[in-house]
Amino acid sequence: MIPAQFDYVAPATVEEAVAALAEHGDEAKIIAGGQSLLPVLRLRLNAPELVIDLGRIEGLSGVREDGPDLVIGAMTTHHEVANHPLIREHAALLAKATAEVADPQIRHRGTLGGALAHADPAGDLGAPVLALGATLVAQGPGGVRRIAADDFFVDLFETALGEDEILTEIRIPKHTGWGAHYEKFVRIKHQWAIVAVAATVRLDGDTIAEARIGLTNMGSTPLRAHTVEARLAGSLATVEAVGAAAAAADEGTNPPSDLNGAADYRQHLARVLTRRAVLAAAGR
Ligand SMILES: Cc1cc2nc3c(=O)[nH]c(=O)nc-3n(C[C@H](O)[C@H](O)[C@H](O)COP(=O)(O)OP(=O)(O)OC[C@H]3O[C@@H](n4cnc5c(N)ncnc54)[C@H](O)[C@@H]3O)c2cc1C
């Protein structure tokens, strides 16, 4: 279907974009890479009067270091995130998960900020951002505020962003030297995750000193597997020990049932994929 008619602006600054959002309220929609918004418009699930394109705003994309953090602009494409040397070195989990998003064409257009703001529970980027303890930076008429990833994902397709706010940056504490793996379960290549597990571990010899694990599509938002993380801390990186810890991966989850799998099947997958992801992250 062809989208309903809308006006289009491409502001040069975040302030102009925020002002346009404030003026038009819920009649306006931000467009980043358009990879989720355009299908929504074409299906006429949303018909905004105004589309505000962030594509001409300088400084909203790119990656830089800021002391202990990596700072990734919201408009940085999936392709750049997956391949950027700083992200590969200091936040390998995010680079690996991003390499699993959709196909190369979508990865060249879609953006990290767009994916997080869209908040699809089957999206691949919420779980690694959560596991890495990121902070999301939003700008609105009242100024700039920082939102912890733990507080960002509110519900299905719902985030803590206000209607008049734009996500500008994603700040990730450096996890230099941590092993990382994103285990995505799909029936067909390039499909959305039926379930996926984002795992990153810090090893001390043969022992897992720290582990951080995020789950994709195990509820209405990405989730942390806190019990597994606690069990893994200080345990040996063996198949037995990791398997025992991963048995708690479905604790506190509420996955959907659909044509790709029933909820209890997804819970089984979470346990199996967590074991695989942690062992792979630990290089086993
Ligand atoms: C065929 C297909 C397969 C896909 N498969 C996967 C997959 O396997 N895994 C996966 O994770 N994703 C997948 N995607 C989604 C893809 O990753 C999108 O790129 C992503 O979800 C949205 O990013 P975008 O930059 O294109 O955002 P857009 O489509 O431009 O925007 C998405 C939403 O976020 C809002 N928004 C965008 N940027 C901002 C911002 N900076 N501040 C505030 N609000 C903002 C928009 O208003 C809109 O509501 C797929 C998409 C398609 C079309």
Binned average pLDDT, 10 residues per bin, the chain of 284 residues: 92 97 93 95 92 96 98 98 98 98 97 98 98 98 97 98 96 98 94 97 97 98 98 98 98 96 98 98 96
Is the distance from the beta carbon of residue 123 to the nearest atom of ligand 1 less than 6 Å? yes
pLDDT at 190: 87
pLDDT at 1: 80
Q: What's the predicted TM-score (pTM) here?
A: 0.97
pLDDT at 25: 87
pLDDT at 217: 98
How remote is the CA of residue 140 from the centroid of ligand 1, in Å? Answer: 20
HEC states along the chain?
CCCCCCEEECCCCHHHHHHHHHHHHHHEEEECCCCCHHHHHHCCCCCCCEEEECCCCCCCCCEEEECCEEEEECCCEHHHHHHCHHHHHHCHHHHHHHCCCCCHHHHHHCEHHHHHHHCCCCCCCHHHHHHCCCEEEEEECCEEEEEEHHHHEEECCEECCCCCCEEEEEEEECCCCCEEEEEEECCCCCCCCCEEEEEEEEEECCEEEEEEEEEECCCCCCEECHHHHHHHCCEECCHHHHHHHHCCCCCCCCCCCECCECHHHHHHHHHHHHHHHHHHHCCC
Is the distance from the beta carbon of residue 72 to the nearest atom of ligand 1 less than 6 Å? no
Is the distance from the beta carbon of residue 125 to the nearest atom of ligand 1 less than 6 Å? yes
Is the distance from the beta carbon of residue 167 to the nearest atom of ligand 1 less than 6 Å? yes
How remote is the CA of residue 110 from the centroid of ligand 1, in Å? Answer: 6
How remote is the CA of residue 267 from the centroid of ligand 1, in Å? Answer: 26
How remote is the CA of residue 119 from the centroid of ligand 1, in Å? Answer: 8
Is the distance from the beta carbon of residue 81 to the nearest atom of ligand 1 less than 6 Å? no
pLDDT at 284: 92
How remote is the CA of residue 122 from the centroid of ligand 1, in Å? Answer: 12
pLDDT at 39: 93
How remote is the CA of residue 252 from the centroid of ligand 1, in Å? Answer: 27
Is the distance from the beta carbon of residue 17 to the nearest atom of ligand 1 less than 6 Å? no
